[in-house]
Amino acid sequence: MTLEIITREQVGLTPPRPGMEPMAVSSVHKIVMHHTDEPPPNDPHSGHDEAHDAAAGQWRSIQAFHVNTRGYDDIAYHFGIAPDGAVYEGRALEWVGAHAGKECNPGSVGIAFLMVDVLTDAAKRAFLALRAYLTERGFDVHEVEPHSSCNPTECPGPTDRAWIAAGLPAPDGEPAPAPGPVTSCAALPPGAPPHGLPLLKLGDHSNVVKIVQERLRELGHEPAHSRRSDGQWDGIFGPATLVAVKELQAASGLKVDGIVGRQTWCALGVR
């Protein structure tokens, strides 16, 4: 099937709060599967007969609950899948989720089925297409685990766990397509940085540079002498940050030009 992801803006999610933990593409090694506490009103298994956009409304309600009641910075999941196969964007992939506890969140993509122990054929097809999409973006999601493998919970229910145990077969009974090889950052075509991020180069000075400096440190290329007296990054794209960026580019097989563009943002963990 052709995957169409309904964006945060289209579904009506509110902007996230600042302060979430960055998630590098290279750190992800699995999908964690969830289900919601109740199906959307238009799910035929719910006994309701509401408007067709009820699943989108439920997705907005989940975000409001996570932010206003749980105190999260955003919706916990990266994606939601409705009974009709609609795929809703949640927390952006460059941020660690809040869906499965401290042990599982940093290395996983959280996907929630908006249904309770029921997997429609449309939802299964959407999940398999979404998994292939994530692989194309460079995420290693060969492994799929139920939420219950991370926390003491019944989520996502026996039906979902049985589907995982069976190898995620497609609805027609064929084996699930195996995810292809993870695409390297060097294989990305030239283009603008993702998610509206800026192109960074020597001489720039901003809070985004601070984020780059921290990611460089996490990846083993700490910019020397780039911290203020209070220990915070200075946010200055100076010679030390330039050296660190070039080290990352060389280690990632990229063109060593010292400019943080699309491929270098990818190497920093943002696609």
| Domain's final residue, options 165, 193, 224 | 165
Position 39 scores a pLDDT of 54
CATH number of the domain within which 208 lies:
1.10.101.10
What pLDDT score does 43 carry? Answer: 45
User: Residue 98 belongs to a domain with what CATH number?
Assistant: 3.40.80.10
Alpha-carbon gap, residue 90 to 60, rounded angstroms:
10
Q: How would DSSP label each residue in 125-163?
A: HHHHHHHHHHHHTT----EEEEGGGTSSS-TT-HHHHHH
Distance (Å, whole) CA 15 – CA 30: 26
The whole-model pTM stands at 0.65
Number of structural domains (the chain) is: 2
pLDDT mean values, one per 10 residues, the chain (271 residues): 84 90 86 80 41 76 93 96 92 92 91 89 93 86 91 90 89 65 69 81 94 90 92 94 94 90 86 69
Q: Could you list the residue range(s) of the whole structural domain that residue 204 is in?
A: 185-267
Tokens of 22: 């960055």
Q: What is the pLDDT of residue 64?
A: 93
